[in-house]
Amino acid sequence: MASDIKQLSAHWRTNYRAVQEMSARKWNPEKERIFVAFNANIDTVHKLSEKNLENVIEKSGAKKRISSEKNPPKKIASKEDFLANLVYTIKTSSAREIACQDNETAKWADKCFPPKEERTGGQTGIMANYLAGLGIDVIAYTPLLSEKQASFFDAQVKYPLVKNSKFATVAIKRASNSEHTKINRIFEFKKGFKLGSTTSCRANRFILASRPKGTEPYFSKELEAHIPKMFQGVNRVILSGYQSEKACNLAHFRKEKMQIKKIKKSNPKLMIHLEEAFISDKGLEKDIVEYIAKNVDSIGMNEVEVRQIASCVLQKRVLEKYPKNSLEGLYILGAAIAKKLGLQRAHIHYLGFYLAIVNKKYPIQPEKVRDALLYASLAAEARAQKGTLPTRKDIFAQKLNNISEKGIQEIMALQKSLHLCEGFLTTGICEMDDHYLIAVPTIISKHPKTTVGMGDVISSSAFAGELL
Ligand code: GLC
């Protein structure tokens, strides 16, 4: 077994090296144009220390409630709500994002845990900057664009607008349209972070989100009229930010669905991807599934988001059948989700492995999809080590000495349990009934410098990497 793992690890290193060679090629901006929308904000990053957090909890006078909350509130209206959510996130070591309804609590959190830096945040903001940095032609749309927000974008990113009744794109840095900036506060903790009797089993973060008006994930009426022009020459679209909607706001959801259909109609060849997010309100997740996810081609999820969607579209017994976060469990759930929603492609990222499920009609060969997953892992690892957005150079130079053993073991276990072809162990590809199952072990850091935005780098690399 151990030698199998060693051999397989060497094999995957070769696969990774081949992708690195390929990653050195320059993107062709004439051919590769990606449109990203809708959520961009500024993230303030707060690194947690054990002692400081303990002190703050002690002083809060509500230590008992904060430390024992099993189901922390899904909205934050007080310091205690915030601390209960933060502690729960550390205990479960899983990513969480909750909206803050009380400005005083947000200000108090800043005082207790002063921010270390400000960065581009929001899935759209992060993906736009990352993809543009790779040399891809990127158009990014976010409805609320203050001067400060605009200044955080890469100079190459373009912004769509209507000028004298005509559609145009301009440098996003010169396109500000509002005085309001959306700020999210990110509280990051390391692997091994100790709090009382618990220790976090991986590095992760809690996001105290803001929900200012004017950030709704759709195009203005003016831009909507220019959708055919706006999506001319675009090969891929990545949509995100629906977590800021309210459940049952059907007027918005109908409009969003109609706009997605218009985009698809204007250019049937382009692929539309939805990047999922942490959503605590099941009603909202149901609306996103019904109006958005069912109308796109592709979806990107982490392990938490898989269960979020699965709990809306699958029966409970399917959800409970497999151990949480095993490759087999995530594959079964991912394939069932893709089928239920009529998606051509779904990818899932988890610590140690990534997988993709692509319909046989998907226009990209499974080998390309696999290579794009490897590309995503190289980029994610470069991000984890540097803490900033990776460049083409970083991806090319990424060291390959930490291929996840756990990932390889999961691939071996899946091959055995589903009686997949032997070749799956080294190619990561297996032909199933109406789809290909693709799984790769990832490269992992023991101590990532940052975790926020990791999913965005992974998903946009995996989706855009198919064009390399
Ligand atoms: C969500 C958060 C944002 C963060 C991003 C990272 O969009 O709202 O603050 O930057 O996730 O993926």
pLDDT on residue 3? 66
Type and span of the H or E element at 347: strand 345-350
Centroid of ligand 1 to alpha carbon of 121 (angstroms): 5
Provide the residue type at 464 as one letter: A
Type and span of the H or E element at 275: strand 271-275
Cβ atoms of 123 and 243 within 8 Å: the answer is no
CA distances from residue 148 to 107, 125, 337 in whole angstroms, order as listed: 20, 13, 39
Atom of ligand 1 nearest to the CA of 119: 10
Which residue's CA is the nearest one to ligand 1's atom 5?
Answer: 122
Q: What are the b/e assignments for 67-87, b being 16+ CB within 10 Å?
A: bebeebbeebebbbbbbbbbb
pLDDT on residue 455? 96
Centroid of ligand 1 to alpha carbon of 346 (angstroms): 20
Q: For 81-128, how does the pLDDT look when each residue is reduced to its tens digit (9 = 90+)?
A: 999 999 999 999 989 999 999 999 999 999 999 999 999 999 999 999
Cβ atoms of 126 and 113 within 8 Å: the answer is no
Cα–Cα distance measured from residue 291 to residue 379, given in angstroms and rounded to the nearest whole number: 31
Q: Reduced to 3 states, what is the DSSP secondary structure of residue 356?
A: strand
Token representation of residue 66: 């904060």
Nearest residue to 190 (alpha-carbon basis) of 448, 453, 455: 448
Q: Where are the alpha helices (DSSP H) in 100-174?
A: 103-112, 123-134, 147-151
**Is the per-residue pLDDT at 194 higher than 90?**
yes
State if residue 302 touches ligand 1 by the CB under 6 angstroms criterion. Answer: no
Q: For 285-329, how does the pLDDT look when each residue is reduced to its tens digit (9 = 90+)?
A: 999 999 999 999 999 999 999 999 999 999 888 888 888 899 999
State if residue 348 touches ligand 1 by the CB under 6 angstroms criterion. Answer: no
The angle subtended at Cα 387 by Cα 104 and Cα 36, nearest 5°, is: 75
Q: For 33-57, how does the pLDDT look when each residue is reduced to its tens digit (9 = 90+)?
A: 999 999 999 999 999 999 999 999 9
State if residue 276 touches ligand 1 by the CB under 6 angstroms criterion. Answer: no
Provide the residue type at 408 as one letter: I
118-121's contacts with Cβ under 8 Å and 24+ in sequence apart are: 118/42, 118/43, 118/44, 118/45, 118/152, 119/42, 119/43, 119/45, 119/152, 119/453, 120/40, 120/42, 120/43, 120/152, 120/153, 121/40, 121/41, 121/42, 121/43, 121/184, 121/186, 121/452, 121/453
Cβ atoms of 29 and 135 within 8 Å: the answer is yes
Q: Quick one: average pLDDT of 265-280?
A: 95
Beta bridge partners of 440: 354
pLDDT on residue 29? 66
Centroid of ligand 1 to alpha carbon of 289 (angstroms): 20
Token representation of residue 311: 């709990």
**Is the per-residue pLDDT at 240 higher than 80?**
yes
Q: Reduced to 3 states, what is the DSSP secondary structure of residue 199?
A: strand
Which residue's CA is the nearest one to ligand 1's atom 4?
Answer: 122
pLDDT bracket for residue 161 (50, 70, 90): very high
Counting beta carbons within 10 angstroms of the beta carbon of residue 233, is it exposed (0 to 12), middle (13 to 18) or buried (19 or more)? middle
State if residue 300 touches ligand 1 by the CB under 6 angstroms criterion. Answer: no
* Count of H-run helices and E-run strands, the chain: 19, 18
CATH for the stretch 49-112+182-209: 3.30.1110.20
pLDDT on residue 321? 85
Q: What backbone phi and psi angles, to 5 degrees, belong to 175? A: -115, 20
Cα–Cα distance measured from residue 267 to residue 251, given in angstroms and rounded to the nearest whole number: 25
Domain boundaries along the sequence of the chain = 1-27+351-468, 49-112+182-209
Centroid of ligand 1 to alpha carbon of 237 (angstroms): 18
Centroid of ligand 1 to alpha carbon of 43 (angstroms): 8
Q: Can you say how many angstroms the Cα of residue 159 is from the centroid of all Cα atoms in its chain?
A: 22
Centroid of ligand 1 to alpha carbon of 301 (angstroms): 14
Centroid of ligand 1 to alpha carbon of 457 (angstroms): 12
pLDDT on residue 354? 98
Nearest residue to 434 (alpha-carbon basis) of 349, 299, 338: 338
Residue 17 CB: number of other CB atoms within 10 A? 12
pLDDT on residue 445? 84
Cβ atoms of 227 and 199 within 8 Å: the answer is no
Q: What is the largest CA-CA distance in the chain?
A: 68
Mention every residue, 6+ apart, whose C-beta is less than 8 A from residue 416. none
State if residue 43 touches ligand 1 by the CB under 6 angstroms criterion. Answer: yes
Q: Can you say how many angstroms the Cα of residue 124 is from the centroid of all Cα atoms in its chain?
A: 10
pLDDT bracket for residue 1 (50, 70, 90): low
State if residue 398 touches ligand 1 by the CB under 6 angstroms criterion. Answer: no
How high is the mean pLDDT of the chain?
Answer: 95
E-assigned strand segments in 90-245: 96-99, 117-121, 137-141, 158-163, 166-171, 183-189, 194-195, 198-199, 204-209, 236-239
Match domain 1-27+351-468 to its CATH number in 3.40.350.10, 3.40.630.40, 3.40.1190.20, 3.30.450.90. Answer: 3.40.1190.20
Cβ atoms of 452 and 207 within 8 Å: the answer is yes
Q: What backbone phi and psi angles, to 5 degrees, belong to 465? A: -55, -25
CA distances from residue 336 to 301, 314, 360 in whole angstroms, order as listed: 14, 8, 15
Q: What backbone phi and psi angles, to 5 degrees, belong to 431? A: -80, 125
Provide the residue type at 345 as one letter: R
